[in-house]
Structure 1
Amino acid sequence: MRRSTLSFHNIRLKNKMLIMYFFAVFIPIVLTNVIFYIVTIENVKKQQMDDSTLALQQINSEFKRIIDEAVGISSSYYTNLNLNLFLETDYMSDIEYIERHYNFLRNLNQTNPLNPSINSIRFYTDNQTVIYSGGVYPIDSLEQSIHFEDELTKSNGSQILIDTPSNKNLETFSIIRNLDYFYKDKQKFVKVEINSSAIRGIFNNVTFKGDVYLLNERGEIEYTTNRFLTQMDKSINFNQINKENNQVTIRTKLDSGSYLKDWTIVGTISEETMLTTVNKSKLFIFLLACINFLAPTIIIVVISRSFLIRLQRILRHVKRMEKQNFELIDDQEFEDEIGQLTSEFNRMTKKIKDLINDVLLVNIQNKDLEIKRNRAQLSALQSQINPHFLFNALETIRMRSLMKEEKETAKIIHNMAKIFRNSLTWGRDFVPIRDEINLIISFLEIQRYRFGDKLDYEIHVDESTEEYKIPNMAILPFIENASIHGIEPLKENGKINLSISLKDNLLTCVIKDNGVGMTEGKRKQLLASLKNEEDIGENVGIKNVYYRLNLYYPDQFYFNIDSHLDYGTIITIQLPLQIDSQINGNLEKNLYFIK
């Protein structure tokens, strides 16, 4: 059955842990803290609303109490017959008025109980026989100080006026009442002025955290704690003031008799102020959320690391087995499932390693025999130097030496001695290029002695390459092949060019002759025969060199033959620059894996 690509089993274990953490820890904690914060805000807002409403009701009650006290005082004067007679009487002289004032009005003020909420009590009359002093004032001064002249002229005993000054900064309230209960011949009024400090004490309630407004029946502000409006010199409607968008408004109606009918006390408070307590608790909520995050996060990380790291270690070792690296897991054997898996993996790895060692032991013995066979074959290849040119050269030297005595004979014999000496030193696998060039020169001198003017040669070797080592007699077989198969069939003007240079860390050797060359088919056949190492056959010298280069430089050297019939042949060899240890290592490796 085909496995579904969307299966949960295809997700890596680390990602599964992240998904579990996200849905089981992160989201629940975030939702819990958000819901807790929202619920807390709503509860605090509700509690603040209740507290603010109670505070506003307390302001309402305190203000009505002061007003009622002032009204009660005015009522006591309203029903006082002696006071009405005092203000209604026409005095014959000033002395008579002063005595009456001293005996009645002064005693009246002293007998009334002291009320701290009352600032002063004044009497106004249009009686021309009284002296306006000592708490008695002309009616004209009252008309100039109040707002309700029309109401005042119409007022009777059943009407009480609340007077507020035009300058709201004075913060004074007065109760004005017409004293016409007994006599109505003259106008008489009592004005009870309320103490401004008592008003401020009521409205500046510390438990209410916003601004308080006292509104009359027309919605005009008579008093406010808003510091931006306390300096106003005229009445302003409450609806005309700018309010914040997040501002909460609380209203409570005074409704204290006819004199405060339709008067209201309004409180405004911003949500930010209401949530001050919550804002102070933000740090605590944040710390609580951090603890809720950190505690499960640390636990999950510790637990996940306890098996993720060990599982990844097991996975790495399993992947190494693909590269025949049977390394044991160096870890304490724990008792959980991963620990048991580690122990079983180590036991399995040890068994596989032991089994491979047993099998390899037999293979190594077989390979050892094969290596010895390949070494014998290599020795046979190295010893298969074509001796024909030596015999021909020696025969030529012998014939010339019988006919005449020449110094060049000694030179040729000397060159032959060099070649024989080198053929006897196969123990040196690698020789400096300088030694290889000396051997080639000896060979070419012998060949030029044989062919006379028919053979010429040029050798160009970079001085920087003379000390680099190459396989022994790696170039000479190609020189021999060029002279015998390329130049010897010619009648004259045969030439061999040899150049050795160093470029891009590659040692480049080019052997070029202008001999008879070969056909394209023969060239391809020669290159194809080089791939068959089992059959030496013809071209022993070239194959010998190619096989040895393949052993020393596996897949690291370049070899090419370029030849055209009647135009000559070019052989190009490129070798990497390697030290002896690298070369010997390549040789051993190739000898080991030759089949």
Structure 2
Amino acid sequence: MKKINDIKLRNKLLISFIFVVFIPVFIVGGFLTNELRQFALKDAKKQASANMERVKERTLEVMNVPLYISNNILFDQRLKQIVNTKYESIYEVVSSYREYNTFQSYRNLYNKEIVNIRFYMENSTLLNDWEIIPVDQQIKNSFWYTTTREGKGLTSWLYLEDETNNDHKYLSLVRRVDFLEYDTSGVLVINVNTKAFNLILSQEAQPTMLVDDQNNIISTNQPGYLGKKLNTIINSKKILAGQTGIFQGNSEGQPTHIFVEAIPLANSLNKVRIVSIITDEDIVGNANRFRRMGVIVAAVSVCVSLLLIYYISKLLSNRLIKLSEQINLVGKGNFNTRILIDGEDEIGQLSKQLELMVNNTRKLLNEVYESNRQKTLLERKQNEIKFKMMASQINPHFLFNALESIRMKAHISGEREIAQVVKLLGKLMRNSIEVGTGKVKLNSEMEVVHSYLEIQKFRHGDRLNYEITIDPLSKNIPIPPLIIQPLVENAVIHGLENKESGGEVSVHTKMKEEGLHVVVTDNGIGISEEKQEAICKLLNEQEEKEGIRIGLRNVHQRLQLTYGNITGLAIDSKEGIGTKISFIIPI
């Protein structure tokens, strides 16, 4: 630690910059670049898989059409009769062909999916009308014919030349059709429309191909690939061997990711695959560009930062050296030294504070004297306050003692009613004076309410009747003190004061799901709608103002300060009928 402290400030700043900025920037930059590359690769794989799935589904829709047609032709009784008949003349053959138009109907109906249907049959009496073709020796010796004859009725998907269409190559469904009644069989060939495949693949952004099991490129969105073998495009042995999945390889000299997926064809001797090629540059090209840009930006930022840190550290060190020299003069007792460093930064502020400290030192004795004088004055005033507080405690005790003497004298004189009222008044005053900032039980608050109503009952006689109903479940609920008595006082003073007879005040408590529900009701003069709106507005005012219902506002704001805005006073009054004031204390 001592060696570090001995290093000059300028060198410390340079070293800290290297460790705090330079190294972390390159570590984080390298990590983020690698993560960006992996994310790009993962996203490309996900997108390519989604594209392959879309191509597979649409291609399968096209290939299901010839499969459906071949299944129907298996049970075509008219075709079975035509190809198994031994004709005596050309006229008979032509007549039979003229009456049979099933192949033409399929071609017209599914012209987007297929282009031709041919049926090969070993019957020398047949004529070749490019739909029903008698088998010659060349056809017998062909690979596709012999393979299909041995296929036991399973379909094959082969890339074949169509001799009826200028030897143009098509992906074709080839299938043996057995005629058990005649113990014969023929071969059905249905050419799939290459345009349908080209339309599907043309919507893909990346090079995508349909390839048969002989690695012939059947269809592609790259015109230069059409008609070639797959091995001329890629050099992956696994793909050329027929494997599926995601592979890394080379395509036209570029590193690529190759996605291969087979089209699920039912009851087929071979398979057709979808091959999609995405170059690594396409996958991580943006990531590589960001990496290069990040390296350039980081290098420029580091160079600029080095120059700035060098310049700033030189300024700081020069100013600190000057400040150190001035502090040394002050340390030697020279309080007349001017300590001024330009600037509003911490060093400038430090110089100003040091200048202020030097000036204040000259006034130290006067300040100490003044401080002692003020301290003595403060202690004297505190003693006066304590004395006044003691005196203020004597007055209530004197008042309670006087009330007790009056009560005893009235009791001795037989004035029991007066004695009881004086007792209640003393109890009410003691509760009001001794109340603290804590909470009291509902029972204690109701005793205060009862004392107040008894005193008012003594004053008004039959003009006032009251009823207190307490839910047994609510007796021990803690509530703020003097929260119900002001509501009862308001009901008596403002509601019943001008009522000549029959005044009633009721206080009810009830435990509900939301909490303790307290209701104070009177049958007094009530409140007009205008005055009721003014009172509701007054309840939420923050500043103390002269006016009516100050007690209500005090209760309302104490409830909200204690329990939040979910509670507060609710006033429901009708002029000439009475007033109901309620509130809820959440439990």
TM interval, short-chain normalised: 0.3 to 0.5
The two structures have a TM-score, normalised by structure 2, of 0.46
The two structures have a TM-score, normalised by structure 1, of 0.45
Rg (Cα) greater in structure: 1
The structure showing larger relative contact order (alpha-carbon pairs under 8 Å, at least 6 residues apart) is 1
